[in-house]
Structure 1
Amino acid sequence: MLIELDFESDIPIYKQLKNQIIEGIATKQVQPGDTLPSVRSLASDIGINLHTVNKVYGLLKQDEYIQIHRQKGAVINPQGIPEADDTFRSKLEQEMRPLIAESMCRGLDKHTLMQMCRQYFDDIQGE
């Protein structure tokens, strides 16, 4: 899995890294049971602070994408990622509503927004 961060982006580095790891899981570039690089190794490889990587691993653990083992380090959840539940759906709504509202304010119609969502979904799914 190739990590590419945009240091000039308005999106914080930790969010970019978290999103790219999640996309790597979604696209099956990393599989359940695969080990992620150590905090120090990943920080060094991509040129960021190790506390940033540690924060990302903590967030991924909290959301059950990874497990942290003393000997193995960060491992993609061997049982797979839990299914979307009410808590996840609520979080998704909290994140989507402002994006949809902003899109409407900027003149994007429903058809265009839905088309974009389908495009991104298909891109990640590999179609």
Structure 2
Amino acid sequence: MSVHLILDLDSEVPIYQQIRDRIVEAIAARQAKEGDPLPSTRQLAADFGINFHTVNKAYDLLRQQGVIRINRKSGAVVRRDADSGPPEAPFAEEWEERMRVLLAEATVHGLDREDVLRRCAALLDGFGSGT
């Protein structure tokens, strides 16, 4: 993978979740495509000075979500890229539930509809999928 992951080791967000999120973002931004290899768990752990089980947890989560595949010979490889077509039904339903919470948080903190839509559009544009 030709992407540099940036983690905040002091964040309240667990490191495994940050790894998972940065890899998904890299795929969405087309910095990593289907078939691209990911660093080994041991290499990524060494790069960040973290336990390899933390990286393993992130990779396992990505595998369960169908984003990567893990093979003993080739290691972790991107399974889907941003152009893979429509999502599977269970993903869409789970995503909608997570989005519901994020939109509720935005509403509670006073963001109006136009601001939420503007921010969403800007983020999608950053992933090259604003059309």
Scaled by the length of structure 1, the TM-score of the pair is 0.90
1:88-111 Cα deviation digits (max 9, x unpaired): 111111111111112111111000
Relative to structure 1, is the Cα distance of residues 61 and 110 closer, same or farther in structure 2, using a 3 angstrom cutoff?
same
State yes or no: 1:97 paired with 2:89. no
Q: Distance in 1 between matches of 2:51 and 2:86?
A: 32
Per the alignment, in what secondary structure is the counterpart of residue 21 of structure 2?
A: helix
1:73-95 Cα deviation digits (max 9, x unpaired): 11112797573132111111111
Aligned residue identity for 2:122: Q
1:45-89 Cα deviation digits (max 9, x unpaired): 122210110011111111111111111111112797573132111
State yes or no: 1:119 paired with 2:122. yes
Relative to structure 1, is the Cα distance of residues 109 and 83 closer, same or farther in structure 2, using a 3 angstrom cutoff?
same
Identity of aligned residues (%): 40
Contact 2:66 2:80 (C-alpha < 8 Å) held by counterparts: no
Deviates more, 1:79-88 or 1:91-100: 79-88
Scaled by the length of structure 2, the TM-score of the pair is 0.87
State yes or no: 1:87 paired with 2:90. yes
What corresponds to 1:2 in structure 2? Answer: 4
Contact 1:32 1:78 (C-alpha < 8 Å) held by counterparts: yes
What corresponds to 1:77 in structure 2? Answer: 79
Question: Alignment length, in residue pairs?
Answer: 127
State yes or no: 1:110 paired with 2:77. no
Per the alignment, in what secondary structure is the counterpart of residue 70 of structure 2?
A: strand
CA RMSD of the aligned region, Å?
2.0
Q: Distance in 2 between matches of 1:78 and 1:93?
A: 20
Contact 1:64 1:82 (C-alpha < 8 Å) held by counterparts: no
Gaps of at least 5 residues in structure 2 are: none
Aligned residue identity for 2:9: F
Per the alignment, in what secondary structure is the counterpart of residue 116 of structure 1?
A: helix
Aligned residue identity for 2:21: N
